[in-house]
Amino acid sequence: MSKSILPSSKASASLSPSGGFGGGNDDVALPLLADPALRAILEASVAPNTKKAYASDFADFVAWCEKQDLPSLPSTPATVIAYLHHLVTLGLRTSTLERRLVSITKAHELAAFQSPAFHPLVKQFWKGVVRTKGRAKDGAEPRLWEDIRAVVSAIPADTPLALRDKALLLCGWWGGFRVSELASMQLAHVSFVPQGAEVFVPRSKGDQEGEGAVVTLAPQSACCPVSALRTYLAHRGEHDGALWQKNLLGRPSPFGLSDEGITLRLRHWAAIAGFAPSSFSPHSLRAGIATQLALWDVEERLIQRHLRHKNVLQTRRYIRLADRWKDNALLSASAKIRL
């Protein structure tokens, strides 16, 4: 069951919006919280995975507030600052603190309260946290072409599970799919065309309105995602359902690999190939193809379109990473030394 980041309808009856920073509106907040149908529509504005993360983060804030005998919803700027300071003393990363702060804001907004995170004192304190702790981006280690070739060479071609995992790895890398997209793929989403293969993605992190997108997979001379996918599907069968079948014992299964299951399969083969298992994940594949395309001098606009980045700044993160080793001063020097 999906977690909720709104307070329960029972708890909402005791809330008084006037107690929160900036106040609230009883005529709006309480009916929304009490009516299950309205609550469901409110929460539908947030993607399921995002909602799950918000709920977990906000639950930590609520638990801390209960221990301190402080209100959590609506909360106050002083309480939020004290909570952030508590997290700082625990040594948590800046990105974790930022996520907790976002969850507090989202919970207040969905309950029709103004978030205390918008208060000038909270903003000032947050600037101090960032200046003190830094704000390095957490990111998966990009897995490049040679890494993918090494893992593929470690996967045998003698079992249906191995064929599935090989296709999963290659489609995940070449397609730059998010793990949620891989886990939700259905056989009906895949079609083969003269140019290669097309995979329909009904909804993703960057497409919350559900417009959908088509990701193209082109044939390659080595580590080809199209041929790997065809080989896997010949063993999988043509029955409807999840593309990456969890059970490949010769009979149709309604169950596909979950987000966690996909990550575990990738790490299984990465370990066999000699990599640290924790260094392989679906996001390391997505980061890897983005970085590799930049190293191959593919145009920025084409990388952005392939990865379905709405903001080009997301794409440029990977291009900057690739640029560290393109026209690199020390690599140029080492080439001169070899001469």
Q: Is residue 73 domain-shared with residue 159, that is, in the same domain?
A: no
Measure the CA–CA gap between 208 and 38, rounded to whole angstroms. 19
Residue 153, classified by CB atoms within 10 Å of its CB into exposed (0-12), middle (13-18) or buried (19+), is exposed
Q: Is residue 197 domain-shared with residue 129, that is, in the same domain?
A: no
Is residue 1 in some structural domain?
no
Q: Is residue 195 domain-shared with residue 81, that is, in the same domain?
A: no
Is residue 3 in some structural domain?
no
Structure tokens at 292: 């590799």
Radius of gyration (C-alpha) of the chain in whole angstroms? 24
Residues, the chain? 339
Q: Is residue 63 domain-shared with residue 166, that is, in the same domain?
A: no
pLDDT at residue 187, rounded to an integer:
94
pLDDT at residue 331, rounded to an integer:
66
Q: Is residue 108 domain-shared with residue 149, that is, in the same domain?
A: no
Is residue 139 in some structural domain?
no
> How remote is the C-alpha of 305 from its chain's centroid?
18
Half-sphere exposure of residue 305, counting CA atoms within 13 Å on the CB side?
7
Is residue 333 in some structural domain?
no
> How remote is the C-alpha of 102 from its chain's centroid?
16
Could you give the residue ranges of the DSSP H alpha helices within the chain? 9-12, 26-34, 36-43, 48-68, 77-89, 94-110, 120-133, 145-154, 160-175, 179-183, 225-236, 259-272, 282-295, 300-307, 312-323, 329-338
Q: Is residue 156 domain-shared with residue 114, that is, in the same domain?
A: no
pLDDT at residue 330, rounded to an integer:
74
Is residue 94 in some structural domain?
yes
Measure the CA–CA gap between 45 and 43, rounded to whole angstroms. 5
Measure the CA–CA gap between 82 and 276, rounded to whole angstroms. 38
Q: Is residue 184 domain-shared with residue 238, that is, in the same domain?
A: yes
- The CATH number linked to 63 is 1.10.150.130
Final residue belonging to a domain, choices 104, 133, 162: 133
Q: Is residue 33 domain-shared with residue 57, that is, in the same domain?
A: yes
Do 285 and 144 contact (CB within 8 A), yes or no?
A: no
Q: Residue 14: which residues within 8 A CB-CB, separation 6 or more?
A: none
Q: SS3 for 78? A: helix
Is residue 307 in some structural domain?
yes
Structure tokens at 182: 């891989």
Q: Residue 160: which residues within 8 A CB-CB, separation 6 or more?
A: 232, 235, 236, 248
Domain span at residue 100 reads 9-133
Is residue 140 in some structural domain?
no
**CB atoms inside a 10 Å sphere around CB 146:** 8
- The CATH number linked to 225 is 1.10.443.10
Is residue 334 in some structural domain?
no
Q: Is residue 174 domain-shared with residue 308, that is, in the same domain?
A: yes
Q: Is residue 209 domain-shared with residue 272, that is, in the same domain?
A: yes
- Write out residues in the chain with pLDDT < 70, as ranges: 1-51, 135-140, 204-210, 248-253, 325-328, 331-332, 334-339
Query: Beta strand 190-193 with 213-217: parallel, antiparallel or unpaired?
Result: unpaired
Phi first, then psi: give them for residue 143, nearest 5 degrees. -100, 115
Phi first, then psi: give them for residue 17, nearest 5 degrees. -55, -25
Q: Is residue 125 domain-shared with residue 218, that is, in the same domain?
A: no
**Locus of tokens 């907004």:** 109
Final residue belonging to a domain, choices 101, 133, 165: 133
Measure the CA–CA gap between 77 and 86, rounded to whole angstroms. 14
Q: How many domains does the chain have?
A: 2
pLDDT in tens, 109-133: 877 788 999 999 999 999 998 888 7
Q: Is residue 56 domain-shared with residue 164, that is, in the same domain?
A: no
